[in-house]
C-alpha cells in the first residue's frame, strides 16, 4: 500500500480533529477524500506529509513511517489556499522548490520548461507570480508538486479557481500521472470532478470515516431504470409491472434483479410500444455526499 493509516487520532487542544481513522490507498490509485469544512481532511493530509504529529495511531507512506526525509523526497503536495512567494517568476519559483526538494540542476533545467508548457504557462517566464491570475497560480502550484516526479501526489482542491478548459487540462494531466503509476490523494469540494477523477473515495465526518468505497459501487442505486417511450405512447397495461409515470411518456421502474430488464424490453416490444430511451439510474457523488456528510448535522 502506498498510504496506510491505522486508528489515527489528532486532538487540537480539546477539540478532536481526527478520531480513529483507518484507510489504505493502493499504488496507482486516485483516492478522493470528501468532507465538510473542519471534517479533518487537511489534518489527515498534513499527518501523512509529516507536517503535523498525530495524537494517536500510526501512518505509513510508501511503507515507511510518515515524515522522514526519504519519504518526502518522493512526495508532491499542493496545499489548499497556497500562497506562492510573489517576488519570483514562475521558472524561478519552480527552480527554488526543485532545489529544496533535492532535484538536480540539470533535471530542473529540463523539467521546468516542460511542465510550464504542459500546464499552459509557457510564454510567461518573465512575469512575476504577483502578476498571475488565480488559475495560473493554481497551475504553477501543481507544477511545483509535479516537478520532482513524485510517487505520491497530495492535492488539496487542485482545480480551485481554474476555468473549465483548464480543469479539463489538469484532469487529463493527473490521469496521465496515474497512468505512469503515480498514486494521487485528492481533497476537493468539486464533487463532479472527484466523480470523474477518483477510483475510490472516503467521506470524513466529524473526524471519522463515514463511508468509503469505489465511486462505481457507492453511486449505484440497485436496479432502478428510466424509460422514455415514443411521443404519445403510454405504458401498456398488458405488462404486469408497476411503472411510475414521471413525465409525458416517461416512466421509472424498480426491478428485483439485473436480468429482469430483458423481460421488460421483450414485453414492451411485444406490445408494439416504441422505446426511445433507456437508462440505468445511478445516484451522483453529490447525492451521496449530501446524504452522508450533510445529514445529521456536524
Partner 1 sequence: MSQNSWWQRPSVFVAILGDSWRETRDSKVLYVLLGGIVLLLGVVLTARFEPIPGSKQYLQLAARACGVDTDGLDATSLNAMDMAGRLRGALYSLETSETVDDAEDLPGARWRVILRRQGIPLVGGRDTAEQVSERFGKIAEGRLFVVNSIEELEDRTTGLLGIQRWSLLVSAGRDLRVAWPHRMTLFLGVVPLTSDSGAPLGLQIFILYKLLTTGFGAWIMLLVGVVVTSFFVPNMIRKGTLELLLVRPIPRWRLLFYKYLGGLMFALVLLVALVGGAWVATGITAGLWSPTVLWAVPILLLFFGLLYSCSTLVAVITRAPVPAMLMTCLYWVALFIVGILHGQVEISRMESDPANKSQGISLTDLKMNRNGLGPRPRPRQPDRKPLYETTFGQVVESFHAVLPRDRDLDNLMDRQLVKDLALAGPLRDLTSRTGSSAVVGLGITLAHLGGFLFLACWIFSRRDP
Secondary structure class of 221 (helix, strand, coil): strand
The reply on whether position 96 binds partner 1 by CB under 8 A is yes
The reply on whether position 101 binds partner 1 by CB under 8 A is yes
The reply on whether position 3 binds partner 1 by CB under 8 A is no
Q: Which of 99, 122, 127, 165 binds partner 1 (CB under 8 A)?
A: 99
- Report the alpha-carbon distance of residue 259 to residue 164 in Å, rounded: 39
The reply on whether position 60 binds partner 1 by CB under 8 A is no
- Report the alpha-carbon distance of residue 50 to residue 68 in Å, rounded: 7
Q: Is 249 left (phi over 0), alpha (psi -120 to 50) or beta?
A: left
Q: Which of 65, 102, 131, 270 binds partner 1 (CB under 8 A)?
A: 102
- Report the alpha-carbon distance of residue 165 to residue 100 in Å, rounded: 32
Q: Which of 31, 97, 185, 251 binds partner 1 (CB under 8 A)?
A: 97
Minimum CB separation from partner 1 for residue 266, in Å?
Answer: 60
- Report the alpha-carbon distance of residue 155 to residue 186 in Å, rounded: 5
Q: Which of 3, 18, 39, 52 binds partner 1 (CB under 8 A)?
A: 52
Phi, psi (5° rounding) for residue 34?
-115, 160
The reply on whether position 84 binds partner 1 by CB under 8 A is yes
The reply on whether position 14 binds partner 1 by CB under 8 A is no
The reply on whether position 69 binds partner 1 by CB under 8 A is yes
Q: Are 201 and 256 in contact (CB under 8 A)?
A: no
Q: Which of 178, 218, 189 is nearest to 201 (CA)?
A: 218
Number of shown-chain residues binding partner 1 (CB under 8 A)? 36
The reply on whether position 79 binds partner 1 by CB under 8 A is yes
Q: Which of 83, 126, 180, 257 binds partner 1 (CB under 8 A)?
A: 83
Strand order in the sheet with 220-229: 244-247, 250-254, 220-229, 275-282
Minimum CB separation from partner 1 for residue 44, in Å?
Answer: 13
Binding site for partner 1 (CB under 8 A): 12, 46, 49, 51-53, 69-70, 72-73, 75, 77, 79, 81-88, 92, 95-97, 99-105, 128, 141, 144, 148
Amino acid at each position: 500500500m502506498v498510504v496506510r493509516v491505522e486508528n489515527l487520532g489528532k486532538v487540537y487542544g480539546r477539540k478532536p480533529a481526527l478520531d480513529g481513522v483507518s484507510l489504505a490507498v493502493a499504488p496507482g490509485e486516485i483516492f478522493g477524500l470528501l468532507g465538510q469544512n473542519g471534517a479533518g481532511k487537511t489534518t489527515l493530509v498534513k499527518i501523512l506529509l509529516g507536517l503535523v504529529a498525530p495524537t494517536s495511531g500510526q501512518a505509513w507512506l510508501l511503507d515507511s513511517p510518515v515524515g522522514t526525509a526519504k519519504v518526502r523526497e518522493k512526495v508532491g503536495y499542493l496545499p489548499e489556499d497556497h500562497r506562492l512567494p510573489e517576488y519570483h517568476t514562475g521558472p524561478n519559483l519552480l527552480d527554488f522548490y526543485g532545489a529544496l526538494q533535492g532535484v538536480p540542476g540539470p533535471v530542473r533545467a529540463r523539467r521546468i520548461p516542460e511542465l510550464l508548457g504542459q500546464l499552459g504557462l509557457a510564454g510567461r517566464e518573465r512575469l512575476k507570480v504577483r502578476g498571475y491570475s488565480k488559475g495560473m497560480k493554481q497551475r504553477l502550484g501543481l507544477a511545483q508538486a509535479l516537478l520532482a516526479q513524485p510517487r505520491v501526489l497530495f492535492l488539496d482542491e487542485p482545480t480551485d479557481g481554474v476555468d473549465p478548459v483548464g480543469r479539463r487540462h489538469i484532469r487529463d494531466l493527473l490521469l496521465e500521472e496515474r497512468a505512469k503509476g503515480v498514486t494521487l490523494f485528492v481533497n476537493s469540494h468539486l464533487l463532479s470532478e472527484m466523480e470523474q477523477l477518483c477510483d475510490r473515495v472516503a467521506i470524513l465526518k466529524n473526524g471519522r470515516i463515514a463511508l468509503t468505497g469505489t465511486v462505481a459501487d457507492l453511486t449505484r442505486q440497485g436496479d432502478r431504470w428510466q424509460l422514455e417511450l415514443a411521443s404519445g405512447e403510454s405504458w401498456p397495461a398488458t405488462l404486469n409491472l408497476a411503472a411510475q409515470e414521471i413525465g409525458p411518456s416517461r416512466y421509472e421502474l424498480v426491478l428485483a434483479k439485473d436480468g429482469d430488464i430483458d423481460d421488460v424490453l421483450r414485453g414492451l416490444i411485444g406490445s408494439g410500444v416504441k422505446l426511445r430511451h433507456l437508462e440505468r439510474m445511478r445516484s451522483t457523488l453529490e447525492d451521496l455526499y449530501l446524504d452522508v456528510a450533510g445529514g445529521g448535522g456536524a
